[in-house]
Each structure stands twice: as structure tokens, then as C-alpha cells.
Chain A
Amino acid sequence: MNEKKIHKNKWQTTIFLLIIIFITYLSTAITDFNFIDSIATIPAAIGWMFTNLMVTQESMAKMPAIMEKLGETIFMSIAATTLAAVVSLFLALLGSKTTKVNNIFSMLARFIASFSRNIPVVAWSLILLISFGQNSVTGFLALFVATLGFLTRAFIESIDEANQSSVEALTATGATYFHIVSKAVIPQSLPQMLSWILFMIETNIRSATLVGILTGTGIGYMFDLYYKSMNYNVVALITFTIVIAVIVIELISNKIRKVIL
């Protein structure tokens, strides 16, 4: 009986694998994507990268301008994240099961959060581009809205996870809502929340580049400009600075995280 079962399981795995291979083959056939050909182009592509995407002496002259734009992008991401964090905190308090004021506000907060979260940041920038035009406000708002949704969701979870029991205890002592929020909920969830905010700042610096390409601001716009004018040396330099900036910020926030947690 048991042996039969094992045999059956083996067969299932084999059949499953065959189906996957078949689907892969079918989709490459439909889309005219040739696996062998694409692998064959890799050496050539790498060769192109090495010849064109080299940082040269002339491109280094653009460094001050790049740094300025990079700084602008980083600060915009930080501003968008921190501002969104403040709003998210209020939404999360309303939305959380432990600290909700009533069900209507809770539903509303959760709705706002999932609505802004489920539209990707790229879509937000394009939507806002139409209404706000090509300027830094658009980029800021796109990051703000996407961050708002994510942070609200994360904060709700931090609050629910850490506080049910102490909220119950403080309610039983006759504490008011604001006592409970300020003296039990926030002290207990703050490290977690800060950690999420740091994570979101990192993510937003990455997405700010993409948002910048779309909305014409910051380092993303610069990237787009030199890319379109085929000045690949500068493009390489910009890419490197972005990568280094992201790594540095990640290191910093890991340090901060170690201290607060």
C-alpha cells in the first residue's frame, strides 16, 4: 500500500517536470524566443559593455553634477519616506486590530493602504505625471503614495504582533486611548517601525532612479539624458555612483538597525 503511494508520487513528479518543459518549449515557440541564440549573444553583449560602458577621464568631469543630482535623489527619497511614515503611523493605529477606534475607520485605513500599495510605483509616477506634469513634486508624490501603502501595512503588523497583551493590561488599569498608544504601543513597536522605515528609504533610493527617468527629476533624469544622447561613459559613471550610494546607505542602515533592535 505504502510502496504504491511512493511510486505514484514519483510518477507525479516526472509528469509535472515534463509538463513544465513542454510549457517552456511552447512559450518560446510562440514568442519566437530562441534560447540558444540568446546565450550566443552574451559574449558580444559583455564585449559591448566593456568597450562602451567605461568611465573615462572626460566623463569624470561630470562628477560634481552627478553628485548634486544624486544628493537630490537621496534627499527626496528620505523626505518622501519619513513624511509617508508619519501619515502611515496614524493610518496604522486606526487600521490595527489592537488600537482601532472603530470598524469604519479601520476599514478605511486598510483600504487606503492596500489601494496605494497594489499600484506599483512606476504606475503611480505615470498617473501623477499626467496630472502634475514633469517636475520633482510628481516624483516625490509617487514615492510618497507607494511608501504610504507599504508602511501602513507593515506598521499594522508590528502593532498587532507586539502589543495585544500590554494594551489589554493598560485598558484594565483605566488608562485612556492616548495613554495606551503613547506608553505601550509606540515604545514597543518603535524599533520595528524604524527598521521598516530604513528598509523603505533603501528601496526608495533605488526606485527614485526609475521614477526620475519617468518624471524627469534627479539622477534618473540625468541617466536618461546621457543614455539618449549615447554618451555611455557618463551613463556608466552614473550607474556606478548609484550602486555605490545604495550599498553605502544599506551599510549605514544595517548599523542603525543593530543599535536600535
Chain B
Amino acid sequence: MPLLKVEGLGKLYDGETKVLRDVNFEVEAGEFLSIIGPSGAGKSTLLRCINRMVEISEGKVIFDDLDVGEMRKKELRKLRTNIGMIFQHYNLVPRLTVIENVLHGRFGYKSTLQGVFARFTEEEKERAFFLLDKLGIAEHAYKRCDQLSGGQQQRVGICRALIQEPKLILCDEPIASLDPNSSKVIMDYLKQISTEMGITCLVNLHQVDVAKEYADRIIGLKKGEIVFDGPSKLLYEDQIENIYGIETRELITV
């Protein structure tokens, strides 16, 4: 049984602009999947349909045998605790410390009062430090997030997602605002998470070479439609050309 099943998914903004059309795919538990495509292809929207940060217009998203589109508020909250999310701009609270930001990932399990008064258990705090240590930023735990570099902030973002103990992690352009070095560090960590912890990863990327290097499987998205779905090694030049259009390829080679 696949962990995630997307059936005939479509998304319309303002009732007319069609961002996604008839998207179908399945993701097995433990897979490292990358979604590539040019800007505006609908990659971000596709990811946000999975944890319903945007409403689904057509079709179905089935996560862990449950229909995401039909969920009510409480079930939706439960779904989101099972799905971690990592963002291009890290989306931390910059004025708070690293450890506070990591513990934010536990809110899905907390009642309103517990959360507002920050009642975290010892195990949760230990787990937070364990994760920070694992990602090599334990020494910054009490620093404010706006004092960290981009790569370090993204690692905090990863810790926040991991402390949720998710089954799936959605990464929306995790390395788009990072330099090549930090990008490699982040991608290595993501890969490590999927192999060591067995967490399924869905990563939006627009660097084809990165996707080919790290992902087991690649989905190519163009104008809201899937134009490629297969193992990374089967993605050849002509398919990349098809996804990005010829003009882009010329730009890259120049």
C-alpha cells in the first residue's frame, strides 16, 4: 500500500487560472522523490495540496489511507503532525531562539493551553537537543535564529520538521536561497534522514543535476501537468529539454 496517492489532482486559483491539471502519482514509504520543473509549473502548489495548506479543487489526495480533501479541522491537524514541511526561506520565527523554534514542531501534539504556556516534556526537550546535535548545530541552541547563517537556519527548519516524528517530509525548494556548499550539506542531511530514519521525502527542486544526484525517482512538472515520472537515471537530456523548454537550456549552456 502506498503512503501517498494523488489521483486526478487539479487546482484552480480564482476559479480560472489552472495551476495543476490531472496529476496522478503514488509514493511508497521510504522513497526519496524529487519534483522538478520551471518556476510557475505548480511545484509549490502540488506540495501544499498534500498537507492542504491550499484547498484541493479537483481529484483526491490519499495519505495513509485517509482522504485529505475530506478532512475536518481536527483530522487535518492530525494529518499535519504526520507531515513535516521545510521551506525555501526557512520560515522560522527570527527573534526566538533555535531551541524554541525546534520545539514549535511539537505544537501539533499539544492542547492550546499546553502550547501557549510552552509545557514541553523532558523527553521532547532531550529529543530536540538530540536532533540539533545530529544536524551539527547544538552549540547554537540558545542563539536567536536571526544570528545564524542561511544553511544553519535551514538545519533548524529540518529539526523542527523531524521533531514532529513525521512519516513524510515536504521540502519546498530547500536549497534555492543557499550557496552551493550549504546546499550540499542540506541535501546530504535530507538524504540521510530518508535512508536512516526511513522518512519519505518529497523535494521540490529546480536544479536538475541535484535532483538526479540525490533522488531515487523524479517527477517532471510542466504547466501543471506531469511530463515525466520515473527513476532518476532514466531522465535524459531530451526529457529535461521537454520539461524546461529549449530556451532555458540555451541559457544554461551560454
Residues of A within 8 A of B (CB): 165-166, 168-176, 178-179, 182-184, 187-188, 191
Question: For the complex, what is the distance from the CA of A215 to the CA of B87, rounded to whole Å?
Answer: 55
Q: Please give me the residue from chain B that is nearest to A164 by CB atom.
A: B91
Residues in chain B near residue A169, CB distance under 8 A:
85, 87, 91-92, 104, 157, 160
Contacts A169-B85, A183-B93; is A176 near B160 (CB within 8 Å)?
A: no
Given contacts A168-B53, A178-B116, 16 further A-B contacts (CB under 8 A): A165-B87, A166-B92, A168-B87, A169-B92, A169-B160, A171-B53, A171-B80, A173-B105, A173-B107, A173-B161, A174-B108, A174-B164, A179-B110, A183-B96, A183-B100, A188-B96
Give the residue name and chain of the A residue nearest to B163 (CB): A173
Contact, CB under 8 Å: B85 / A172: yes
* Least distance between A241 CB and chain B CB atoms (Å): 39
7 contacts between A and B (CB under 8 A): A165-B89, A169-B85, A174-B78, A174-B108, A174-B109, A175-B104, A175-B108
A173 touches B108 (CB 8 A): yes
Chain A: interface secondary structure?
helix
- Contact (Cβ within 8 A) B85 A175: no
- Residues from chain A with Cβ under 8 Å of B92 in the complex: 166, 169
Contact A174 B81 (CB under 8 A): yes
Bound CA–CA A253/B94 (angstroms):
24
- Give Cα A165–Cα B91 distance, bound, in whole angstroms: 5
Indicate if the CB atoms of A184 and B112 lie closer than 8 Å: no
The answer to whether the Cβ of B95 comes within 8 Å of any Cβ in the partner chain is: yes
Q: B77 at interface (Cβ–Cβ under 8 A)?
A: yes
Residue of A with least CB distance to B94: A188
Closest Cβ of chain B: how far from A178's Cβ, in Å?
A: 5
- The yes or no answer to B115 lying at the interface (CB within 8 A) is yes
In contact, B104 and A183 (Cβ under 8 angstroms): yes
B204 contacts the other chain (CB 8 A): no
A174 pairs with B80, CB closer than 8 A: yes
Q: How far is the CB of B9 from chain A (nearest CB, A)?
A: 18
Report B-chain residues with C-beta under 8 Å of the C-beta of A165: 87, 89, 91
Chain A CB within 8 A of B118 CB = yes
A178 touches B91 (CB 8 A): no
Does B45 sit within 8 A of A, measured CB to CB? no
Q: Which of A173, A187, A188 contacts B160 (CB 8 A)?
A: A173
Which chain B residues border A182 with CB–CB below 8 Å? 115-116
Specify which chain B residues have a CB less than 8 angstroms from the CB of A171 in the assembled complex. 53, 80
Contact (Cβ within 8 A) A176 B77: yes
Q: How far is the CA of A174 from the CA of B115 in the complex (A)?
A: 11
Distance to closest chain B CB from A102 (angstroms): 14
Q: B51 in the interface, Cβ–Cβ < 8 Å?
A: yes
Q: Are the C-beta atoms of B115 and A184 separated by less than 8 Å?
A: no
Most chain-A CB neighbours within 10 Å: which of B83, B87, B104?
A: B104
Most B CB contacts (10 A, CB to CB) among A166, A169, A187 go to A169
Q: Is the CB of A184 within 8 A of B87?
A: no
Residue in A166, A172, A187, A188 whose CB lies within 8 Å of B80 = A172
Q: Please report the C-alpha to C-alpha distance between residue A110 and residue B127 in the assembled complex, in whole angstroms.
A: 43
Closest B residue to A191 by beta carbon equals B95
Is B51 in contact with A172, judged by CB distance below 8 angstroms? Answer: yes
Name the A residues within 8 Å of B161 (CB-CB): 173
Nearest-CB residue, chain A, relative to B106: A173
Chain A residues with CB below 8 A from B110, complex form: 179
- Tell me the chain B residues, 225-253 only, with Cβ under 8 Å from chain A: none
Closest Cβ of chain B: how far from A239's Cβ, in Å? 42
Do the beta carbons of B81 and A173 come within 8 Å of each other?
yes
By beta carbon, the residue of chain B nearest A180 is B107
Q: Which residues of the other chain, A, contact B96 by a CB distance below 8 angstroms?
A: 183, 187-188
> Across the interface, which residues of A come within 8 angstroms of B93, CB to CB?
166, 183-184, 187-188
List the A residue with the shortest CB-CB distance to B108. A174
Are B108 and A183 in contact, with the CB atoms below 8 A? Answer: no
A176 touches B118 (CB 8 A): no
Residue of A nearest to B157 (CB): A169
Residue of B nearest to A179 (CB): B115
The reply to whether A178 and B104 contact each other, CB–CB distance below 8 Å, is no
Please, which residue of chain B has its CB at the minimum distance from the CB of A185?
A: B93
A175 touches B107 (CB 8 A): yes
Contact A183:B91 (CB < 8 A) given known A172-B51, A173-B104, A174-B81? no
